[in-house]
A and B are shown apart, each in its own frame.
Chain A
Amino acid sequence: MGSKSLTSASAIFLVLLFGVFAVFLVYPVGYVLESAFYREGVFTLEFFRLMFTNPVHREAIINSTMLAITVTAVTTIIALPISFVMVRRDFPGKSLLNGLLLVPMVMPPFVGAVGMQQLLAKFGSVNLLLIKFGLMSPRDPFDWLGTGFWAVVLLSVLHLYPIMYLNVAAALANVDPSLEEAGRNMGASGLKLFRSVTFPLMLPGYFAGAIIVFIWAFTDLGTPLIFNYSRVVPVRIFEAVSDIHENPMGFALVVLVLAMTVVFFAISKKVLGSSNYQMMARGHVQGSSSALPRRWVPLVWVSMATVIGCALVPHASVVLSAIADTWFMTILPSSYTTVYIGRVFTHPLTLSSIRNSLFLSSLSTLVDIALGVTIAYFLARKRFIGRDVLDGLAMLPLALPGLVLAFGYVAAFSGSFLDIKRNPMPLLIIAYAIRRLPYMVRAAYAGLQQTSETLEEASLNLGAGPFRTLRRITLPLVFANIVAGSVLAFSFAMLEVSDSLILAAKEEFYPITKAIYAMSLRVADGPYVASAMGLLGMVLLATSLIVAGRFLGKRLGELFRA
C-alpha cells in the first residue's frame, strides 16, 4: 500500500488505456499477421514463398535493403567525424554549427524530392550548370535520377544524418573520459584507442541510431513515390492497399517489414542491455572536450558548412520552385512570382487539405495530451502489474513503421464503421495520435521525473486531495514539457506521410501531405503549387521546433534519440 498503489479510479483509467492499445495497436498488427499466414482458415507460407520467387517482389526487397544499407552507411560516414569534433573539441562558432546541423530535419524528404526534380532533371539546374562550364555535352546530358535509387539515397541521407548525429554524439558524450584515459595510460592512442576503447563503448548508442535510420530508409514511402522509384517494398505495399481484399501479398510484405523491425530492435536490446558501462563508471570528470588547434578551425568550418549546405539544397529547391514563375532550361528561375503561394490558399484541393490537416492534427494532439500525460503519470508515479507492458506499448510506435500501422488499419477496420472508404478522419486522427504518442509520453515523463515527488507529498500533507494536487502542483510543474510535447506532436502530425497517403482515401479528406503528392503528379502548375505547400509546411515545422526548443531547452534533442 502507500501513495504508489492504485485507487479504483486509477485502475479504471489503466484498463481504458490498455483497451485503447489493444484496439488500435495490437489488433491491427495481429490482423495483418493472421491474414499473412492464414488463407481460408489454413496456415500457409505460400505468400512468403511467392515473395522471394516472384521477380517483382524479390527485386523490391533487394532494392529496399540496398537502399537502407547505403543510407545507413553514408549517414554513418557523415555523422561519425562530425560527432567527434562536436563532442570532443571546442572551437569558435560550435554552438551555431550544432544548431545548423539539425536544420535539415524541418522538411519531410519527399517534399524536398518535389523540388529536387527541378534540379536533377535532364535539363535541370545541375546539368545546365555543368554544361555552362563545359563539363558536360548538351547533346548527352547525364540522367541523375536514373532509376531513382541514388536520388532517394541522396534525399534520405540529407534528411537522416541529423538523427544519426544526435545518437552518435550522445553515445560519445556518455563514454566516460576516464576509461579513455586509462587506455591512453596503457599506451594506446589514435586509431588503436578508438578501435579498442572508444568505439566498443559507444557502440550501443551508435547501433540505436543506425537502426532508426535503417528502418526509416527501408520504410519511407513518400520519396520513392515522387521519384517514381516504384520497385521498393513501401511502394509495393502502398499499391497493395487498393486490392487489399483480393491480393494478400501486401500482408506478407507488411509482415516482412514488421519482422525486420522486431529483429533489429531485439538485437539492439541485446546490445544495449548487455552493456551497463555508464552505470559502472560515472566519474565526476566534466567536459572532456579540448580546444581545437587554430589551424584546423577553417577546415572544420568548411567541411561542416559543406554538409549543411548540401543538406539544405532540397529546401532551397523547394523554396525556388514555390516562387518560380518560369523555370525552364535555366539554372535559376528566370522570373519570380507569388502566384503559386497564393494558389495554395485558393485552390479547393489545397485549401481543404490545409483545413483537414489543421483539424486532424489538433484533434490527434489532444488525444496525445490526454493519453500521453496519463501514461507518463502512471509510469512515473505508480507501481502496478503490467507497468512494463504499458511502457512497451507506449514506446512501440517508435519502432513500428507508419506504413505497417496504416496498412493494418485499412485491413483490420474495413467494413466496420471506421472503414476508410466511408470516412477516414477517425482513423487518421488515431493513427497520427498513436504514431506521435511516444514523444508526448517521453516529454511528460521527463518532466515528472525531474519533479520531486515530495512536492506532491507536501501538497497532500497540507490537506489537498489527489486531484487538487494534480491540478495545482503536478500539472503546472510539468506544463512546459506538455507544451513542448504537444507542439512536436502537432507539427509532425501535420507532416505525417505514410499514414496520410494510405489512409486518406478520398480527395475531400486529403491532408496536406497527400495534397502535395497529388499536386506534384499534375502537369503544368502542379509541382509549383506542391512546392509552395511544402514551403508552408517547412515554415510550420521550423516554428514548432523553435517553440518546443524554448520550452525544453537542450533536452529537445533527447526526444529524437532511441
Chain B
Amino acid sequence: MVSVQLEGVTKTFGNARAVDRVTLNIGRGELFFLLGPSGCGKTTLLRMIAGFYQADEGRILFDGRDMTGVPPHKRNTGMVFQNYALWPHLSVAENVAYGLDVRKVPVTQKHERVMRALEMVRMDSLAGRSPNQLSGGQQQRVALARALVIEPEAVLLDEPLSNLDAKLRLEMREEIRRIHDELGLTMIYVTHDQKEALSMADRLAVMNRGRIEQTGAPREVYVTPENVFVAGFIGETNLFPGTLLPGRFSDEELQVDTPHGVLRVARKSSTAAPGRVSVSVRPEAISVRGTEEALSGGVLRGVVQSIIYLGDTEQYIVRLADGKPVRSVEANPARPRARTGQEVCLTFRSEDAIALPPDTSNGG
C-alpha cells in the first residue's frame, strides 16, 4: 500500500489537453474519488497512474518513488476496468490466478490466495465457471478479486459500477467500501456518479476539462463548493448572479445585491471577493411558503409553475417576477405546500446561501 502523489501532471492528445496540471496527494489507505462529467480527463488520469499513458509534463510518485518511465506491468497496481476485461478463454479461478502466475507464487499458496480472494467477493462457489457464464454483477466481483489478489500497491477502479443496474450498484457500493475498510487499501476510484462518490469516498476531487476544480471530503465539497461548476455538478443548485456588497451584515453574514433584491449569504473562507458573484442555494434549503406566512430573511416571491411529486420528496418550480425558475425540494411531503399557479414566498437561511465567483463559462 502506497501514497500517490501527482505533481503538475499534464497530458495532451493532439490539440486537446486531456489532463491539465493536476496536483494531488492521495494518502495511504485512502478511498479517493475522481469525480467529473464524461470527457473531463478522469479516466486518462487513472490510466496514467496505471502507466498506460506517460505524462507529457509533471510526475507521478508512489510513496515518493518517481514512476516516470516505469511500464504498467512493473507498477504493481490492481486495476478494475469499466468493461471488467475478464479473459474469456480462462476460467474465473484462472483469471484470478493470472497475476500470481506472473509473480511465480508457489502452487499451493496460489490456490489458497485465489480462493481467499474469491471468498472476499463471495464468488468462491463459481471458481470453475467461464466468465461468459456470469452475470454483470458477478463479473464485476471477479474483476475485483483479480485486482485484489496480487496485493497491489494501489487499487484503481475505472467506473466499475456503471454497467450494473441500479439495485446492484447500491449493493456493490457497500461491498467495495467493506473490502476497502477490511484490507485498508489505497483505492483510486473514477466515476461520474456523484451519489457514488458522496456515499463512499474518504475524499474526492471534482474534475472538469482536465483540471481539478476542488478537493475535499464529501460533506465539505457539498456544503461549501468553491465554484459554480462544483456546486452544479455535485447535487443541484439555484444560482443568482449579483454584486457582493462591501462590509458585512453581521459576523456570519454578507450581502449580495441581485435583481431579486438583496440576499444575505454566509461568510465562509471560500467566499468570493467583493464584486460580481453568483449566489448558490441548494433546492433542499429553500422552503415554499404561502405569502401570508412569509418570514424575514432571504425572501423571494414568485408563482408556482409546476409540482413534481416523487414520494420521498416533492419538487416545486417557482417562476420569479423576471421569469427565472427556482427549484425547491421539500423532504417528506405530508401535504402539498402550494398549488400550481399560486403566488408564494421562497425562504432560506442565510447560512445555506454562499457567494461564489461568477460563472465565467456560460454566464448562467
Contact = CB atoms under 8 A, between A and B. Distances in A.
A477 B89 contact: yes
Contacts of B215: none
Contact of B146 (A462, A472, A477): A462
A472 B101 CA distance: 11
B87 A461 contact: no
B102 A463 contact: yes
Interface in A441-478: 452, 454-455, 457-466, 468-469, 472-473, 476-477
Nearest to A468: B102
Given A457-B50, A457-B81, 6 more contacts: A3-B72, A454-B81, A458-B85, A462-B73, A473-B87, A477-B88
A2 interface: yes
Nearest to A3: B52
Nearest to A479: B89
B76 interface: yes
A463 B81 contact: no
A3 B73 CA distance: 11
Contacts of B103: 463
Contacts of A476: 89
A459 B51 CA distance: 13
B71 A460 contact: yes
Given A454-B85, A476-B89, A460 B73 contact: yes
B310 to A, nearest CB: 31
A454 B72 contact: no
A457 B52 contact: yes
A2 B53 contact: yes
Contacts of A468: 102
Interface in B68-125: 71-79, 81-83, 85-89, 98-99, 102-103
Nearest to A462: B99
Range of interface residues on chain B?
A: 20 to 34
Contacts of A460: 51-52, 71-73
Interface string B216-254: 000000000000000000000000000000000000000
B87 A462 contact: no
Given A2-B54, A454-B85, A457-B52, A463 B79 contact: no
A458 B71 contact: no
Contacts of B150: 462-463
Nearest to A7: B71
Contacts of B50: 457, 461
Contacts of B81: 454, 457-458
A280 interface: no
Contacts of A464: 73, 98-99, 102
A523 interface: no
Nearest to A473: B87
Contacts of B73: 459-466, 469
29 contacts: A454-B81, A454-B82, A454-B85, A457-B50, A458-B87, A459-B87, A459-B98, A461-B50, A461-B72, A461-B78, A461-B79, A461-B147, A462-B73, A462-B78, A462-B102, A462-B147, A462-B150, A463-B73, A463-B74, A463-B102, A463-B103, A464-B73, A464-B99, A464-B102, A466-B73, A468-B102, A473-B87, A477-B87, A477-B88
Contacts of A466: 73
A455 B87 contact: yes
Interface string B240-272: 000000000000000000000000000000000
A454 B102 contact: no
A460 B89 CA distance: 17
Contact of A1 (B53, B78, B88, B89): B53
Contacts of B75: 461
Say whether chain B's binding surface is mostly helix, strand, loop, or mixed: loop
A206 to B, nearest CB: 37
Contacts of A455: 85, 87
Nearest to B72: A460
Contact of A2 (B52, B79, B98): B52
A477 B78 CA distance: 22
A383 to B, nearest CB: 11
Contacts of A458: 79, 81, 85-87, 146
A267 B216 CA distance: 61
Nearest to B149: A462
Of listed A460, A461, A464, residue having the most chain B CB within 10 A: A461
Nearest to A457: B52
Contacts of B85: 452, 454-455, 457-458
Nearest to B69: A1
Interface in B27-70: 50-54
B89 A463 contact: no
Nearest to A458: B85
Q: Which 7 A-B pairs have the closest CB atoms?
A: A462-B99, A454-B85, A1-B54, A458-B85, A460-B72, A461-B79, A463-B102
Given A452-B85, A476-B89, A457 B79 contact: yes
A452 B98 contact: no
A519 B72 CA distance: 61
Contacts of A463: 73-74, 76, 99, 102-103, 150
Contacts of B86: 458
A477 B50 CA distance: 23
Nearest to B158: A454
Nearest to A2: B53
Nearest to B76: A463
A11 to B, nearest CB: 16
Nearest to B81: A454
Of listed A452, A462, A477, residue having the most chain B CB within 10 A: A462
A331 to B, nearest CB: 56
A466 to B, nearest CB: 8
Contact of A462 (B51, B53, B98): B98
A469 B85 CA distance: 13
Nearest to B95: A458
A5 B178 CA distance: 39
A457 B46 CA distance: 13
A356 B72 CA distance: 48
Interface in A148-194: none
A461 B89 CA distance: 18
B95 to A, nearest CB: 9
Contact of A454 (B76, B83, B98, B99): B83
B200 to A, nearest CB: 22
A461 B102 contact: no
B142 to A, nearest CB: 11
A452 B52 CA distance: 15
A473 B102 CA distance: 13
Of listed A2, A457, A463, A472, residue having the most chain B CB within 10 A: A463
A452 B81 CA distance: 11
Nearest to B75: A461
Nearest to A455: B85
Contacts of A2: 52-54
B73 to A, nearest CB: 5
A193 to B, nearest CB: 41
A476 B98 CA distance: 14
Contacts of A3: 52-53, 72
A549 to B, nearest CB: 21
A387 to B, nearest CB: 16
A25 B99 CA distance: 44
A388 to B, nearest CB: 17
